[in-house]
Amino acid sequence: MQFVINGIVAGALYSLVALGFSLIFSTARFFHFAHGALYCVAAYLVYFFASVLGWTPWVAVPCAVGGVAFLGGLVELGVYRPLRHRRASSDILLVASLGLFIVLQNLISLAFGDATKLLRSGPIKEGVLFLGARITPIQIDMVIAAVICITVLGCVLRFSGAGKKIRAVADDSELAQILGVHTDRVVLGVFTSGSILAGVAAILAGFDSDITPLMGFSVLFMAVVAAIIGGVGSIGGAALGGLLLGLTQQFVAATLSTRWQEVCVFVLLIVFLILRPEGILGKPLRKARI
Amino acid sequence: MEYLGHVLVLVAIYTVLAASLNVLVGHAGILSVAQAAFYGVGAYASALLAVRLGAPFIVGLLAGMVVAVLVSFVVSLPSLRLHGDYFVIATFGFQMILYSVFNNWMGLTDGPLGIPGIPQPVIFGWRVESHFEFLVLAAVLAAFAYLVVWRITASPFGRVLHAIREDEVFAQALGKNTLRFKVTAFAVSAALAASAGSLYAHYITYIDPTSSTVMESILVLSMVIIGGAGSPWGPLVGAVVLVTLPEALRFVGFPSSVAANLRQIVYGVLLVIMMMFRPRGLVGRYGFGR
């Protein structure tokens, strides 16, 4: 039972990151690897505000989320938008985002050092028993946050005017622009909100365990895998993919060994890429265009 | 002098790696981030042969290349059916799987402990010991790699690769089996990368999984892109710049802990700037990722 609970908690984390990643991919059409670095930045902002400046978490957390949203927007404005306006291919955007990832991650380890840091103060609260398995309060928060974010995002995309615009840009950004949608503004909004999702996930994960400058890397890859398995561009898909991935990972850890967790996850990815690259809930991929 | 020799040997080894990746990125227009994995395959294959079976350097070198070609089929046959970003993700996946195998298959590779005591190469009675002798050997290997790449890309085979880079559907329409061409290019690239790994293992006389991480793959990719993808001198320029730059940073007087981060920051920034202002690289002609 414990591995199911652990899997759901891990899955909630991956879903949150995958959600932002997938949302950004569906509108901006490239793999935004720097998403993983923004994730890490959020956790370190909380550390900086709370442990270095001594603010209470109630102030530090919102400020960190705001900070990472700002940074996400800045990355779009400063790097991606000029590239997009020059009609750069998705390969170029991908390499630029790899560069950004490397820069941000190393700036963090330069500023804070490579050692593990703790966000929480005081001892770990003992987990509560739930269906015969232990779960800590912060892990419950993580699951709740994921459920709330997925529902809210799903509703916004489905029912609100802003959501309609986002879907229009995701479908065909040129057509949306012709019909008077400010595509740049929509993409900027998507980058900011996607970064907020990553930030929330990172902060919760940071309070749950600890933070290191490398934390963004593995989570990003798990999120990418989750997004692809679930179906890139689909909200439900990101949630489902995250959950499936979390469960698989914990199942492997419980039955086989934690050593081969990563291999199993990436084998799962390859299997999906070969047999069903559009993912569980995604729309079929367009093959080459003439 | 010793130190200068060491840096030059590294430049030569990275030139081989970058030249091998250039076949894919520059000539066939496919972005791969698994080059360090093939480098690792070559290094481990020849190290294991030399340490466990006492095989001479040449045998290890050739065996490493053969194993790398076999592994490259496993990687390329399924993943080369994918396009663009999805192919990049698939190579990421294989890179993670191979790294994980190096790191966790204790019975074969001794995991993170690595394999020490790899003998220095003896080629037809010539014992390669000093930095200078290694430099000669590495330069010969680099020249060989350049010759192979030049022969391939200047041939009809290379013209088909260029056609695939420009427009794959068009190449297919001309009756070319593009998958076969891409798989062959991938195998050649893997074999050359493995030869670099084999030389590195015999040069350092120790090999562990840290030399085949994703970051190493990204470094090699950066060399190709910064130097100039698809251009003959691009890989050499990229290798010289990215190997000597961190050494220069050390001379400016940064402590080594800071220099490691700074080096990464510098090449991350370089990647972003190149993508924004000069996607064809320092000495490139064609332009990457149009």
pLDDT (tens digit per residue) in B121-139: 888 878 877 888 899 999 9
| Least confident residue range of B42-46, B71-75, B126-130, B275-279 | B126-130
pLDDT of residue B264: 86
d(CA B287, CA A133): 56
Q: Is the pLDDT of residue A273 over 90?
A: no
d(CA A128, CA A253): 22
DSSP letter string, B197-256: HHHHHHHHSEE-GGGGSHHHHHHHHHHHHHH-TTSSSHHHHHHHHHHHHHHHHHHHT--H
**DSSP 8-state class, residue A133:** E
pLDDT of residue A87: 85
Instruction: Please tell me which of the candidates A82, A103, A270 has its beta carbon nearest to residue B90.
Output: A270
What ipTM was reported for this prediction? 0.87
Q: What is the mean pLDDT of chain A?
A: 88
Cβ count near A118 (within 10 Å): 13
pLDDT of residue B83: 79
Instruction: Please tell me which of the candidates B265, B272, B288 has its beta carbon nearest to residue A107.
Output: B265
Q: Whole-model pTM? A: 0.90
Q: pLDDT band at A128, cuts 50/70/90?
A: confident
Residues 98-157 of A with CB under 8 A from B: 98-103, 105-107, 109-110
Instruction: Please tell me which of the candidates A82, A91, A274 has its beta carbon nearest to residue B78.
Output: A274
B79 Cβ under 8 Å from any chain A Cβ: yes
d(CA B210, CA B103): 9
B122 Cβ under 8 Å from any chain A Cβ: no
Please list every residue in chain B whose beta carbon sits closer than 8 Å to the beta carbon of residue A287: 83
pLDDT of residue B290: 58
Q: pLDDT band at A123, cuts 50/70/90?
A: low
Q: Do A285 and B86 touch (CB under 8 A)?
A: yes
Interface test with B, best of A21, A25, A103 (most B CBs within 10 A): A103
Q: Do B289 and A89 touch (CB under 8 A)?
A: yes
Model confidence over B216-274: pLDDT tens digits? 999 999 999 999 888 889 999 999 999 988 788 777 777 777 878 888 898 899 899 98
Q: pLDDT band at B42, cuts 50/70/90?
A: very high
B108 Cβ under 8 Å from any chain A Cβ: no
pLDDT > 70 fraction of chain B, expressed in percent and rounded: 98
pLDDT > 90 fraction of chain A, expressed in percent and rounded: 48
pLDDT of residue B258: 80
**Nearest 10 degrees: Cα torsion B22, B28, B30, B36:** -30
Q: And the tokens for B165?
A: 């880079």
d(CA B141, CA B152): 16
Q: pLDDT band at A63, cuts 50/70/90?
A: very high
Q: And the tokens for A188?
A: 């900027």
d(CA A212, CA A202): 11
Q: Is the pLDDT of residue A97 over 90?
A: yes
pLDDT of residue B37: 96
Query: In Å, how far are A111, A232, A280, B186, B188 from B68, measured between CA atoms?
Result: 40, 32, 33, 10, 9
Q: Do A102 and B97 touch (CB under 8 A)?
A: no
| Least confident residue range of A214-218, A271-275, B245-249 | B245-249
Whether the Cβ atoms of residue A184 and residue A73 lie closer than 8 Å to each other: no
A280 Cβ under 8 Å from any chain B Cβ: no
B262 Cβ under 8 Å from any chain A Cβ: yes
Whether the Cβ atoms of residue A146 and residue A16 lie closer than 8 Å to each other: yes
Q: What is the average per-residue pLDDT within B162-181? A: 91
Higher-scoring residue by pLDDT: A29, A42: A42
Q: Is the pLDDT of residue A2 over 90?
A: no
pLDDT of residue B130: 83
Q: Which domains does chain A show, CATH number per domain? A: 2-275 (1.10.3470)
| Least confident residue range of A93-107, A111-125, B31-45 | A111-125
Residues 217-256 of A with CB under 8 A from B: 221, 224-225, 228
Question: Which three-class secondary structure state does DSSP give residue A287?
Answer: coil
**A124-133, B104-113, B186-195, range with greatest mean pLDDT:** B186-195
Q: Is the pLDDT of residue A284 over 80?
A: no
Q: Is the pLDDT of residue A290 over 50?
A: no
Q: Do B86 and A270 touch (CB under 8 A)?
A: no
pLDDT of residue A138: 84
Please choose, from the candidates A141, A157, A166, the residue with its C-alpha nearest in 3D space to the C-alpha of residue A236: A157
Residue pairs spanning A and B at CB distance below 8 A: 132
pLDDT of residue A288: 47
pLDDT of residue B152: 92
DSSP letter string, A189-232: HHHHHHHHHHHHHHHHHHHHS-B-TTHHHHHHHHHHHHHHHH-T
d(CA B224, CA B233): 10
pLDDT of residue A286: 58
The C-alpha of A25 sits at a distance from chain B's nearest C-alpha, in angstroms, of 11
